[in-house]
Amino acid sequence: MSLLLVPYNDSMRLGQGFNSFTHELCIDRAVKVNSPKTVQTNVNQSQVVSYSARFVEKLSDVMDTMNVSYCSSVKKGTIEISGNTSTVDETTFKSSDLNAVVSVKVVNQTQSLEDGCLFQPIDDVVAGSSHFNQVYGDCYISGFIEGGDFTGIISMKALDRSNKDKTVKEIKNAFGSSSKESFTLDAFDSGSASSVTSATRGTECTVSVSWMGGGQIKDETTTWDLDSMHKAAAAFPAKVASCPQRTWAILTKYKANRSFVMWSKTSSFKALEYDQISSFTAELFDNFMEYKLLIKQLQTIINNRDNYQQKSLVVNAIDTSMSTLLSVRSALRIEQSKIVQAMEVLSKDPGILKRQKSWSRAQKSPLVNAILKNALGDWGYESPHSSMTTETNFLPLKAPASTEAPATGPAPASIETEDAQPKHETKETERGAESDDDSFTKIEAEKVSTSSLTPADAVAVQPKSQQEELTFNFDSLVPPEIWEDLMPQQLPEFSQTGFMSTTGSTSQNGINGLTGLGGIPPPPPDGYIYPETQILKSTEALKQEIATAKAETEAAQKTLQTTQAELNTMTSKVMSLSSEINRLNSDFSSKLEGERSAKASAERTRDATISERDSEKNRADREKARADDLEARRVPRPDRGDSPRVWISAIIYGDRFITDGNVWNRAYSAARDKNNFQVTNDWFGCDPKPGQWKTATIVYRYDDRGNMRYLVMGEGGWARFNDW
């Protein structure tokens, strides 16, 4: 027998009561906890790993994979996993054409209680009562499993709705699906990854991932997609081996505990049993989520009523009037509330469904009745009319007392019984039974001391008025498919030819899909009132609207052309101005470069002539006169002390002559102190050619040595004046 597991949370404790249906924690120390034993996976032992990959159509299949409670999700109105409600997007799941679930479960070690745990009853908590079930639940936590749990949900929706079936088939083939449900993870290997990518190229693909254990299973810079999810799932067991986490709690039913069985052997009640209603609650959960999506769809229709219309040839189709839509929304919410109420009743009395036998008594169509009668014959077949003769079929049902109740009193409401006594018994019998019960209660209650009663005996002698009776009419639940078939549909679009274009498929003979197999629409049922045909607009009015729209379009095109011409003219003027500016800049640069070259050439020629022609004395006098003249005309030079006099003729940076006095002072200081300085924009106080590499040139000479000197260095380099 497989273990009964539920997702772990930090509030769980060993020996704590638990309700496996609602996943609600109950009283702590429901059983006496002995020293727990641990069965762990050592380094040399293998992990217990299970992989699962399959296509699913219902949200309940996802819930079953994750071990999430249907009842809890219905009560909360959403799917919540470990406190996170965004793991499963119901709208995305239901609107997708194909949904796949990849699950990896890893077990590293198991911690469980020793055998022989003693059940610990509480005084005044009567066995079999609703309070007892609320306090203790139907089982207790007997252990924990450390490991990891990985779940990935892939939702794919074809973008081309006309080729939806073809796209779904290609995706399944690419995934290596050998059946309608399962597929293999080998599809993500390098050899098959290209086919998966090709098949999903025309789809909207949504990947949702949740995991417990394993730590960080993906690089933070990598986004979740099909490939990254496959890699994370494949490497998940290795991640869990190094970073395990408590993932599941092990549950043990009270009926499997010896001390509980011994304690309750004198009573007629049984602990809660939810196994028999698991499939029914899954169906209730799916219906609840269908109603949730229908309400969202209805709200969209309310907000955009002009885009929807009432379905034709459908009996009781919903129109688009505001009053009708609001009434339908209220009805859908009532159906949701009924499902929540049904879950609440089933959580307290799971046997009510078997006693009521609602689904076996539901009214069937004549076709279904004929099929059943032909299959079963007269033996074992019960017509719907014969099974609906009792008053209890469509009224809230009370949990009946068992016909096999012990002589100590009537059975409690939570006992699961066999067929109930029909209500059409004679009144004398009912009165007789009531008088017998009342007399028994009065006499026996006086004889038996309450201090000597076990909890089971105490509930047995309770008066009928004190025993809780749960009621619910499961026949009142309406399948959501009925409402879905009656919802308004979107208005059809009109093509350029004026005919209505439909999205429905047509047969080979051109007959629209609405006409059925025979080419003729099916007749409405008797008493159907045809909706009145309304001509919204005449042909002439439509033609006038088309002509007006055409004229407006032509006027808009003409305005657009005029605006475009003006824009082109302005663009041409801007381009002309830009060309003129570029020409002026080019002329200025050429002129400046010519002046600089001419000045440098003149300086060199003059210096060469003076050097050849003049004597040392005359040259000294001339240099002194020039220095005096420069001191009078140019930027004052700093005090150089006893150092030889330096005369700077020009400072050029890039293509610009520098006249800034601060730069000249820095140059004289560098020449005097023989300091290294770096050629930068900040040093020269400007950037003549932004973004370009520039060269700096300083023309200078010392007054006691005759030749002109040139200090040349590129931008970013370090420069230094030569020695005297």
How does DSSP classify residue 31?
B
Q: Is the pLDDT of residue 636 over 50?
A: no
| pLDDT tens, residue by residue, 403-412 | 333 333 333 3
Whether the CB-CB separation of 26 and 134 falls below 8 Å is answered with yes
Q: Is the pLDDT of residue 562 over 70?
A: yes
| pLDDT tens, residue by residue, 232-266 | 999 999 999 889 999 999 999 998 888 888 888 87
Q: Residue 640 has what pLDDT?
A: 46
Q: Is the pLDDT of residue 292 over 80?
A: yes
**What does the block give as tokens for 703?**
């007054």
| pLDDT tens, residue by residue, 460-499 | 334 333 345 678 888 888 899 999 999 999 887 644 444 4
Least confident interval from 17-21, 379-383, 581-585 = 379-383
Q: Residue 31 has what pLDDT?
A: 93
Cα 19 from chain centre: 29
Q: How far apart are CA 627 and CA 583, in angstroms?
A: 39
CA end-to-end span of the chain = 104
Q: Is the pLDDT of residue 134 over 50?
A: yes
Q: Is the pLDDT of residue 637 over 60?
A: no
Q: How far apart are CA 412 and CA 543, in angstroms?
A: 77
Q: Residue 522 has what pLDDT?
A: 53
**What does the block give as tokens for 246?**
């408590």
Q: Which of 141, 100, 102, 97 is nearest to 8 (CA)?
A: 141
Q: Which amino acid is at 530?
A: Y
- Please indicate whether residue 475 or residue 190 has the higher confidence score (pLDDT): 475
Q: Residue 184 has what pLDDT?
A: 62
In this prediction, residues 340-355 reach a mean pLDDT of 89
Q: What is the reported pTM?
A: 0.56
Q: Residue 308 has what pLDDT?
A: 94
Q: Residue 453 has what pLDDT?
A: 39
Mean pLDDT of the chain: 75
In this prediction, residues 668-688 reach a mean pLDDT of 88
Q: How far apart are CA 199 and CA 185, in angstroms?
A: 16
- Please indicate whether residue 175 or residue 495 has the higher confidence score (pLDDT): 175
Q: Is the pLDDT of residue 666 over 70?
A: yes
| pLDDT tens, residue by residue, 206-235 | 998 989 888 888 888 888 888 888 889 999
Q: How far is CA 14 from CA 1, 3, 43, 119, 254, in A?
A: 21, 16, 26, 13, 14
Inter-residue long-range contacts of 317-326, CB under 8 Å, 24+ positions, other chains counted: 317/486, 317/488, 318/486, 318/487, 318/488, 319/488, 320/488, 325/298, 325/301, 326/302
**Please, which pLDDT band fits residue 188 given cuts at 50, 70 and 90?**
low
In this prediction, residues 683-702 reach a mean pLDDT of 88
Q: How far apart are CA 472 and CA 339, in angstroms?
A: 11
| pLDDT tens, residue by residue, 551-561 | 888 899 889 99
**Please, which pLDDT band fits residue 615 given cuts at 50, 70 and 90?**
low
Query: How many helical (H) and strand (E) elements, i.e. helices and strands, does the chain have?
Result: 21, 19
H or E element in which residue 151 lies: strand 139-158
Q: Which of 492, 77, 85 is nearest to 296 (CA)?
A: 77
- Please indicate whether residue 453 or residue 297 has the higher confidence score (pLDDT): 297
**Please, which pLDDT band fits residue 398 given cuts at 50, 70 and 90?**
very low
Q: Is the pLDDT of residue 296 over 90?
A: yes
Percent with pLDDT over 90 in the chain: 20
Q: Which of 270, 286, 403, 459 is nearest to 349 (CA)?
A: 270
Q: Residue 423 has what pLDDT?
A: 39
Q: How far apart are CA 519 and CA 508, in angstroms?
A: 12
Q: Residue 297 has what pLDDT?
A: 93
- Please indicate whether residue 540 or residue 43 has the higher confidence score (pLDDT): 540
Least confident interval from 79-93, 164-178, 283-297, 537-551 = 79-93
Q: How far apart are CA 594 and CA 608, in angstroms?
A: 21
